[in-house]
Amino acid sequence: MSAGRFTETAMKDMLFDVARQADLCADDFLMLNLTNNAVFALPQAGLVVRIPRSFGLDERVLKVFEIAQWFEQIDAPTIRLARHEMIETHGLHVTLWTYLPHTDGRPTTSHLGEVLREIHALPLPPFRLPEWNPVADARARIVDAEGLSKGDHAFLLDWCEELEPAIVELRSHGNHGLIHGDAHAGNLLFDCHGRTVMCDFDAVCAGPRGVDLASVAVGDTRFRNTDKYESLKRAYGKDVKLLDEWPTLRQARELKMIVAVVPYLNSGNGVQAEFNLRLDSIRQNKLDVPWTPFAQLALRSSR
């Protein structure tokens, strides 16, 4: 795979191809995200177009499509598909979602705690979900990493090997069920009725519910978001940092936060420098080194 196939320009070209196939006008498009997926809003059409940035994630797109339809059937607090069909462009499956414009108020981690309590109370769907497996996900990302140095490649694979037994142990016991897998306030929206809904189902799976609290808990340290974690903790009613499995949950989340962009290290936007900073902080066991969100770096460059 060539990294050049997933640049910002390439993803915009794919957007226009999707618009052509779906008989849509994309002249008013807004780029919402450019990390694991290229996410574009078409406000006039009331749609969000979500295009994966890896050929290796096709199975995940199919899972997202299926879980989204089930969420709609049970009226879960989640975003809705705009069309119950996928569009293919350049060998990638593209999904279309309902566009919910940002309001004056933005969802907070207090809203996140409330939504997570609802999601964690849901049963497992009547079809098989993948098991939470952050190590396997990380290895899949590393395979696509053309811009990764040999030393960094070896370190990440060694980290996966060291973490895997703890992940297997954690999956074998504990408070398991349906989890979002990437729960943070940035994945929340208000629908037209004022209901808080969750979006981005890439990581939805069956696993320890503490995974969904670890995202903000790690952000407490790495992104200096202490107030956000305190709000989540109060709304959800549990402090994940007090659980015995917290060290494993923290490492799993940090691994995910580092390898998320390894297929795109040649894309510029300050991503390489941030990646280096994150990896060095892990190598040196510096738990308090602050990080900058990759999405924030990507969106800076598009302005």
- pLDDT (tens digit per residue) in 125-151: 999 999 999 999 899 888 867 789 999
List the one residue out of 88, 80, 6 whose CA is nearest residue 48: 80
Is residue 15 scored above 50 in pLDDT? yes
Stretch 7-13: mean pLDDT: 92
- Average model confidence (pLDDT) across the chain: 91
pLDDT for res 225:
76
Cβ burial, residue 239 (10 Å; 0-12/13-18/19+): middle
pLDDT for res 183:
96
Is residue 302 scored above 60 in pLDDT? no
Q: Are 98 and 81 spatial neighbours (Cβ–Cβ below 8 Å)?
A: yes
Percent of the chain predicted with pLDDT > 70: 95
pLDDT for res 83:
95
What is d(CA 77, CA 61) in angstroms, rounded to the nearest whole number? 20
pLDDT for res 166:
96
Q: Maximum Cα–Cα distance for the chain, whole Å?
A: 53
Is residue 1 scored above 50 in pLDDT? no
Is residue 16 scored above 70 in pLDDT? yes
pLDDT for res 78:
98
Confidence of residue 2 (pLDDT cuts 50, 70, 90): very low
Q: Which pLDDT tens digit goes with each residue over 68-109?
A: 999 999 999 999 999 999 999 999 999 999 999 877 789 999
Q: Which two tokens stand for residue 6?
A: 């997933």
Full strand arrangement of the beta sheet holding 30-34: 30-34, 37-42, 47-52, 92-98, 87-89
Q: Are 49 and 89 spatial neighbours (Cβ–Cβ below 8 Å)?
A: no
Percent of the chain predicted with pLDDT > 90: 74
Top pLDDT among 299 and 196 is at: 196
Q: Which pLDDT tens digit goes with each residue over 247-274?
A: 999 999 999 999 988 877 876 678 889 9
Domains of the chain with bracketed CATH = 3-98 (3.30.200.20), 109-302 (3.90.1200.10)
CA 40 to chain centre: 16
Q: How many CB atoms lie within 10 A of CB 203?
A: 24
Q: Report phi then psi at 177, rounded to 5.
A: 170, -160
Cβ burial, residue 232 (10 Å; 0-12/13-18/19+): buried
Q: Which two tokens stand for residue 249?
A: 């949950």
Q: What would the DSSP string read from start to end of 227-276? A: HHHHHHHHHHT--GGGSTTHHHHHHHHHHHHHHTTGGGTTS-TTHHHHHH
